[in-house]
Each structure stands twice: as structure tokens, then as C-alpha cells.
Chain A
């Protein structure tokens, strides 16, 4: 790991100013940043430590929804009784992610900005070509081992998966991100790779995520996060789904349904086609399985990841059927 200087910011404003320097990076939980610094992917000149700032770690839940400070730890949010009651899919997405130790370190703001686990991205010494690391250098993953790569939202420049779980649940329930003076819908925070995969979010230079908000809804309260992976625990998703359903007064007709996918796309992926095809219907196994296949509209296989195109709709279907009392 290359050496860097360390600066402990006394306020968000001070941190924001320090971040205007080229080569400055924000240090919160450090679980992604220090890992990537050791890989030689991140080479900061200065780390701006914001972990000592007060007031950015609060978690509040009321009838309108939840507000969560950017420095709240993953584990704190996962275990928060109010979050668990009003947003089960959000709490589950966190408790099913990483390990207990990492959840005690990693912050909510940092979690939303975690980098891809693409093994070509993470090995600059062996694979110099990576458009995300080094724009214009090419993509080592395309034509390589692609078992863990995206099938949705890819481009000819990049097929790296966004590895998050929390962001998937947040996209399903129309959460937003606070960045000091402005607020951005979580779905709009992330950019598709296109020709510029190095540009991952709409955050501007010096902008700092200060918190997130999740509006309360019946669908969010009646929700689940299903994560399928290569080992039972402490693993990224092969495919995952956040699903929430609100039924009409008859208890069976779908009034509102939210579906988002993880582990298969270059950004947290809202599956609106699935939602639209099920609103107003009474759930049955055949219809749900058919609707779930709409989540793969536009999916592209790169060989090793073709199984995801089969797996993801099944994960979506199982999550919907579970919430509908049919699984």
C-alpha cells in the first residue's frame, strides 16, 4: 500500500473542502478503501477521516419513514428495531451482507459507494486493462472468466457487477440520498457504465453523502430480501431480490409491488416490468414465474454468467411467492 497523509476533519464542511484536492479520498469505515489500497487499485494522496464527526450516525424511524445518518454502521441499522419493523428487506439486506466484524465497521454512506468485486478490476498488476480503473485501456473481463459478472446494464466497456445488497433494497422502496445541499433518488445516484465506467455515481467533486431517507410504505413494511450465493454466509450475491407487496382490502389483489435485483447488474436494478405486470392481479405461481422472467429483459450473457439469466427470475419469483403466502 502506497503511503498517504492522514487528515482528521473537524466538520462536514472541512471534509468537503479537503475533498476538492485531487488525490483526496474520504475515509469512513475503510473496509473498501483500505482493501483496494492494498490491491493497488486506490492510490490516495490524502485520506480525509470523517469517522470522528458527531451527529452523522443517527437512526430515526417514524410514521413517515426512516432517516439514517451516513456514518451509521451496517450492523446498527440491521439490528435497529424500527428499521426491522418498517423495512424488513432493508434490515435483511444488511444482516445478510459481509461479516459481523465488517458490519461493525462499514458505514451506510460507504456501503452505497462500495466498488465492484470484479476480479480483473481488483488485480491491476496482472490485468492492466480495465476501463473502470484506467479509462480507455479495455476490459479484461469480456472474453475472460465471467461467472460473477453482470448480465444487465452492461456495455462494451464494462460488465462489472455492482455488489451491493442495501442499495438493492433501497432502490425498491424509493429511498433517497442526502448530500448536504441536495437530495438524489437512490436510483439516480448510480450511473450505467456506458463508455465511462470509471464514472460510477452522480456525486460531484467535494460532495459528501450525509444520510439516506426511506419513505414509509405498506410494501416496504411487507417486504423481504432473498439472497442466493455460492456459500451460505459471508458471500456476495449470485442473484438477489428485494420484494415488497401491498394487497388490496381483499387481501389477495396486488395494489402495489416493488421488485429490485442485485448481483446481476451494473447498478442496483429496479424491475418495473415485473411490477407493472402484477399490479391489479391475484398472485398465482404460474403468473408470478412468467412475470419474473420480465426482469431479464435486455439481459446479455458473456458465457460464464449465463446461469444468472436463469437464476435471477427464480429468485424474484420465490421472493414474490413468499410474500404472497404461496411459497
Chain B
């Protein structure tokens, strides 16, 4: 017997209705039930950061978050950070500009983490970025370029992003 529960999840500004087993994580709900596959499953145990999403504007690991726990919260995934007209988020643009990846698997998590890192005010120096981005592993070892991208994006933060962040938290 499989018991399911009904959930309403607010993801990237849109309401999604789904029926899932209580054990389903936010990560699996996104990928398997809602076809939002931008969020990646790396270790599935909270050690790699590939699944990083935002809940109420804060970066969290979706692999260790139950979907049931985030009902009523505002969820943002990598699919939700570009502008509606398709313009990339400045962090996305900076990752391309700085070639901040090789295989790209960790990249959505890196970008979601970097957006939050900059918003938190923890991107003031290379040392600070390395410390506050340490929860995102890159097995290709693109760390130098990732740090460069985060630094560039941090200094390029515009009032436009600030406005978008406020919408996300609201």
C-alpha cells in the first residue's frame, strides 16, 4: 500500500499541485513529479550542494528537505532566476563569462548558492567566497573560475536584482 499526501507547492512564482508519498524530498518532487530537472541530484545526502534551491529566499539543500515541509513556502529553483524576457541572471552571465564549469553538473547548485551568497553579503573577498561557497563541491575542480564569477557578479549586482530578490522573499 502506498499512502500519498496532497501538496500545493509554490515554485518560481507558480502554484503546483501534486500527490506524493510523505518520504518524497523536495529534490525528487521537482525532478520526478514536476519535470523541473535543472536542480541536480549529486550525493543525495547533503554533502555536495548540487541540489541547492531557495526556500523563502534562503539557500537550502533540497535533497534533505521533505516536499511536505515546504508547503506554504516560496521555492525558487535554477529555472526561476532568469528574467521573464530570457535575460540571464547576472550570476548566470558571470559563470559563462568566467568559464566557471567543465561538465556543468554542479553548476545549477553553484549558481543558486552564489546568488544567495551575494545576497547575504558574504562575497566580499575571495577568501570569504571560498568559505561561504564551501557547501558546493565541483569534482572538475573549476573552483578558481567559480570564485572569479562570484566576485564579478557580486560587484555587478544591480538594483534590478535587488528588486527581484524582494519579490522572491515576499
For the complex, give the distance between the alpha carbons of A251 and B96 in Å.
55
Size bracket of the B interface = 35 or more
B45 contact set on A, CB distance < 8 A? 35, 38-39
B68 contact set on A, CB distance < 8 A? 6, 8, 49
A1: which of B5, B23, B52, B69 is its contact (CB, 8 Å)?
Answer: B23
Known A-B contacts A3-B21, A27-B69; the reply to A101 vs B60 at CB < 8 A is yes
Known A-B contacts A38-B45, A98-B135, A233-B131; the reply to A30 vs B23 at CB < 8 A is no
Name the prevailing secondary structure of the B interface residues: mixed
Known A-B contacts A5-B3, A100-B113, A234-B135; the reply to A34 vs B22 at CB < 8 A is no
Count A interface residues, CB 8 Å: 30
Nearest residue in A to B21 (C-beta to C-beta)?
A: A3
List B15-57 residues whose CB lies under 8 Å from chain A. 21-23, 25, 44-46, 49, 52
* A305 contacts chain B at the CB level, 8 A cutoff: no
Number of A-B contacts (CB under 8 A): 87
By CB atoms of chain B within 10 A, which of A39, A100, A101, A234 has the most? A101
Q: Determine if B61 and A101 form an interchain contact, defined as CB atoms under 8 angstroms apart.
A: yes
A31 contact set on B, CB distance < 8 A? 46, 61, 64
Name the prevailing secondary structure of the A interface residues: mixed
List A1-41 residues whose CB lies under 8 Å from chain B. 1-6, 8, 27, 30-31, 34-35, 37-39
Stretch at the interface among B75-83, B97-105, B115-123, B160-168: B115-123
Q: Determine if A105 and B5 form an interchain contact, defined as CB atoms under 8 angstroms apart.
A: no
* A47 contacts chain B at the CB level, 8 A cutoff: yes
Q: Determine if B22 and A27 form an interchain contact, defined as CB atoms under 8 angstroms apart.
A: no
Nearest residue in A to B112 (C-beta to C-beta)?
A: A101
B2 contact set on A, CB distance < 8 A? 3
Q: Determine if B5 and A101 form an interchain contact, defined as CB atoms under 8 angstroms apart.
A: no
Contact with B along A64-104 (1 / 0, CB 8 A): 00000000000100000000000000000000001111101
Contact with A along B134-162 (1 / 0, CB 8 A): 11100000000000000000000000000
Nearest residue in B to A3 (C-beta to C-beta)?
A: B23
Nearest residue in B to A51 (C-beta to C-beta)?
A: B69
Q: Determine if B69 and A101 form an interchain contact, defined as CB atoms under 8 angstroms apart.
A: no
Chain A nearest CB from B146 CB (Å) reads 14
A52 contact set on B, CB distance < 8 A? 72
Known A-B contacts A5-B3, A30-B69, A51-B69; the reply to A100 vs B23 at CB < 8 A is no
Chain A nearest CB from B27 CB (Å) reads 11
* B65 contacts chain A at the CB level, 8 A cutoff: yes
Chain B nearest CB from A26 CB (Å) reads 13
A51 contact set on B, CB distance < 8 A? 69
Nearest residue in B to A39 (C-beta to C-beta)?
A: B45
Q: Determine if B23 and A101 form an interchain contact, defined as CB atoms under 8 angstroms apart.
A: no
A47: which of B3, B22, B63 is its contact (CB, 8 Å)?
Answer: B22
Chain B nearest CB from A50 CB (Å) reads 10
Nearest residue in B to A1 (C-beta to C-beta)?
A: B23
A232 contact set on B, CB distance < 8 A? 130-131, 134
Chain A nearest CB from B144 CB (Å) reads 15
Question: What are the 10 A-B residue pairs with the smallest beta carbon separation, nearest first?
Answer: A99-B135, A6-B22, A233-B134, A234-B134, A104-B58, A34-B64, A101-B61, A101-B135, A6-B68, A3-B23
B residues whose Cβ falls under 8 Å from a Cβ of A: 2-3, 5, 21-23, 25, 44-46, 49, 52, 58-61, 63-66, 68-69, 72, 113, 116-117, 120, 122, 130-136
List 20 additional A-B contacts (Cβ < 8 Å) besides A104-B59, A104-B60, A233-B130.
A3-B2, A5-B3, A6-B22, A6-B66, A30-B69, A34-B65, A35-B45, A37-B23, A38-B44, A39-B45, A49-B69, A99-B135, A100-B122, A100-B133, A100-B135, A101-B49, A101-B60, A102-B64, A105-B61, A233-B131
